[in-house]
């Protein structure tokens, strides 16, 4: 299948609430919302703080570091555009700032991923909206 006939990968649909996240991702920065009232760190993007319900949320750069909380290896993707990447790892990443993010672990073989593995963010290149992926912080 040529690149012109390959299925297009589905991607995010930014909303007014999430647009700052995607703008920062396009610049290579992982950002998270912070509550101005209770200092909670918030992810996924929201209108209100889920802890105190304040609307005083502001975007701040995050460290981009985290640890693998759990993961699965995908052998049969839910969309045909991801078939060339199989097998791949989908993981829950505990970010250093506190929130948990669903993402993928790249830059190592699926069998090298482990719970508790330190990871750092990197962004996909060439996509309409670069996605935050995570790679091992140290050599696997």
Q: Please, how many CA atoms are within 13 Å of residue 99, restricted to the half-sphere of its CB?
A: 21
Structural domains of the chain sorted by starting position, each given as residue range(s) with its CATH number in brackets: 13-62 (no CATH), 63-140 (2.40.50)
The whole model's pTM is what? 0.90
Residue 4, pLDDT above cutoff 60: no
Helix count (H) and strand count (E) of the chain? 1, 8
Whole-number pLDDT of residue 90: 97
Whole-number pLDDT of residue 54: 97
SS3 state of residue 86: coil
Q: For residue range 82-113, what is the model confidence (pLDDT) as tens digits?
A: 999 999 999 999 999 999 999 999 999 999 99
Residue among 20, 24, 46 at smallest CA distance from 35: 46
């Amino acid at each position: 299948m040529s690149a012109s006939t390959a299925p297009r990968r589905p991607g995010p649909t930014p909303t007014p609430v999430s647009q700052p996240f995607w703008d920062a991702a396009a610049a290579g920065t992982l950002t998270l919302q912070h509550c101005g009232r209770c200092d909670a760190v918030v992810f996924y993007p929201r209108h209100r703080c889920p802890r105190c319900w304040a609307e005083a949320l502001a975007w701040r750069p995050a460290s981009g570091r985290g640890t693998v909380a759990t993961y699965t290896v995908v052998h049969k993707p839910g969309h045909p555009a991801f078939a060339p990447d199989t097998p791949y790892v989908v993981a829950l990443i505990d970010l250093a700032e506190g929130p948990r993010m669903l993402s993928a672990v790249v830059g190592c073989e699926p069998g090298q991923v482990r719970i508790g593995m330190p990871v750092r963010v990197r962004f996909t290149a060439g996509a309409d909206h670069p996605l935050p992926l995570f790679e091992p912080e140290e050599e696997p």
